[in-house]
Structure 1
């Protein structure tokens, strides 16, 4: 704890029945403890008065766990700590797991890491609503960040204080613990699980999680994060990856040499091309990621090829779509490329354009998919021959 400049941060609210045991357990490992009393109305203040060696912050009014954690992080950083391990005061966490977080930090490749305790959610005393809520949270965290975790809701965590202080965090209650890990992952912090023990003593433990309002707040937050992820984070990360590697290297490493089988890659390319050409303007990115996840295809490849409809290509795609629509419907439409680029006159005939656009998207996706599949198959065979000498 001393070498890593780490403290233990304990937010507490009306957990007088378990607080003393938690404090005594943590003190066996470190005196670097900071407690934030979030406006408790029970014996919390009286209990804390017996621990002069512990830094305590007493908030006059209960404003939520997220608010208490933010205040605690700021105080810990001000005191010179680099990391903070958060542990709940309701007795569900075991202080003897503190070394698990320290070992993970010491053995990891980076100190810019946020470690979350991974509970055994299959043990008999875990409430059903906790297990469901965790699975729900894990799913959305993966969608929003691309990172798979087994537990995203455990409050037993190690935070890198400097990196967390750089984030713009707004939520005040339980949803804060979702906000902070999603934004940390978006900002480049490694977010990983470490195994911890858990105790759900129904007689002793007091939980302040309100199922309906708190779950609703978390759902609203996840809805917003999904929108941000689709329209900003995923495109940002994609273009950063291309910029860093270069287009040629990106195609070789992320398309040709990716571990996905040729069929999956080709179908991902076909999906991207189809949605890039089809008349789903404004919703292409959303549809690409949603369908890629639903169909279990490669999201990066599908998104890359959906960009076939970049601005310089749009007039040509619209022109070809209208011409195909004319062939199919027999409707007589006369226009030039000049009028198309100036006022999109062809879009006055929306039905013809949509029919032609969907036809062009289908033809192009089949061609791109088939050609890609053949190229990928030949590349794979050539690689096998080369590897075998």
Structure 2
């Protein structure tokens, strides 16, 4: 459906990338509306389940990809839209319900008061009830070490998909964004460009429905790809 931003909340857009999220999307959007006044858009990344039907039946502002482009393609579509419509800030909120919309206020306050380009919501800056799989925790720690090695910046939760960026970062991401598994790559890229990146503590939950599309094969591919590209960029920076 056509997406027309409201004048009142034009400064902030919440981008919800969704691929086969029929089990969690409705709840995520209901919580978002309950806890924030901000505009949002769902990026339906070529879903093959009932996600498109739910979006239509519930009247969610949305953009749809004819084919699956991955999380990077979804987020770039969202950033292009935010750029075109003049939003000052854009927030990534995954459709699976792991992120708590009530924590969005913390991201907004941090990016505005800290004069920052990106603020990441971290599960690990303070004790929380989040318990991921052992493999996921190992992967997160690996990327924490990689980002520290490449940038000197300590990011405890580099794979977090709960983040806010300002206007100049929106403009950058609308022009160029990694196609798949982009979270770690963009942190390294931003820091190398002199952008200001910071974490704040947030609470996260287990996925509220459906299944993750990331398996062991994709995880290994992700780790090798991000490491290779990051090292190449470091060599030529």
TM-score, with length taken from structure 2: 0.87
Aligned with 2:80 (options 74, 84, 87)? 74
Shift of 1:3: 7.0
- Identify the residue that residue 47 of structure 2 maps to in structure 1: 40
- Identify the residue that residue 199 of structure 1 maps to in structure 2: 205
Instruction: Return the alpha-carbon distance in structure 1 between the equivalents of residues 177 and 42 of structure 2.
Output: 21
- Identify the residue that residue 173 of structure 1 maps to in structure 2: 180
Q: Is 2:135 the counterpart of 1:136?
A: no
Instruction: Return the alpha-carbon distance in structure 2 between the equivalents of residues 169 and 105 of structure 1.
Output: 22
Aligned with 2:19 (options 8, 13, 27)? 13
Q: Is this contact kept in 2: 1:101–1:158, CA < 8 A?
A: yes
Instruction: Return the alpha-carbon distance in structure 2 between the equivalents of residues 91 and 132 of structure 1.
Output: 22
Q: Is this contact kept in 2: 1:93–1:156, CA < 8 A?
A: yes
- Identify the residue that residue 114 of structure 1 maps to in structure 2: 118
Shift of 1:220: 2.4
Q: Is this contact kept in 1: 2:90–2:166, CA < 8 A?
A: yes
- Identify the residue that residue 151 of structure 2 maps to in structure 1: 145
Shift of 1:159: 1.6
Q: Is this contact kept in 1: 2:41–2:61, CA < 8 A?
A: yes
Q: Is 2:216 the counterpart of 1:211?
A: yes
Aligned with 2:131 (options 105, 114, 125)? 125
Range with greater deviation from structure 2 (182-191 or 209-218): 209-218
Structure with the higher helix share, 1 or 2: 1
Instruction: Return the alpha-carbon distance in structure 2 between the equivalents of residues 118 and 124 of structure 1.
Output: 11
Cα offsets for 1:193-247 (capped at 9, x unmatched): 111111115x834211132234323322322312432x343xxxxxxxxxxxxxx
- Identify the residue that residue 22 of structure 1 maps to in structure 2: 28
Q: Is 2:67 the counterpart of 1:61?
A: yes
- Tell me the number of residue pairs that the alignment of Structure 1 and Structure 2 aligns: 227
Structure 1 gaps, min length 5: 234-389
Shift of 1:183: 0.9
Q: Is this contact kept in 1: 2:16–2:43, CA < 8 A?
A: yes
Give the secondary-structure state (helix, strand or coil) at the position aligned to 2:24. helix
- Identify the residue that residue 230 of structure 2 maps to in structure 1: 225
Q: Is 2:169 the counterpart of 1:163?
A: yes
Q: Is this contact kept in 2: 1:18–1:90, CA < 8 A?
A: yes
Instruction: Return the alpha-carbon distance in structure 2 between the equivalents of residues 80 and 180 of structure 1.
Output: 22
TM-score, with length taken from structure 1: 0.54
Q: Is this contact kept in 2: 1:66–1:171, CA < 8 A?
A: yes
Cα offsets for 1:140-197 (capped at 9, x unmatched): 11111111111101100002243243366353122x1122221111111111111111
Instruction: Return the alpha-carbon distance in structure 2 between the equivalents of residues 106 and 64 of structure 1.
Output: 29
Structure 2 gaps, min length 5: 1-6
Structure with the higher strand share, 1 or 2: 2
Q: Is this contact kept in 2: 1:36–1:68, CA < 8 A?
A: yes
Cα offsets for 1:32-85 (capped at 9, x unmatched): 001100001111111111343x42001111120111101110011111112111
RMSD between aligned residues: 2.2
Give the secondary-structure state (helix, strand or coil) at the position aligned to 2:37. coil
Shift of 1:13: 0.5
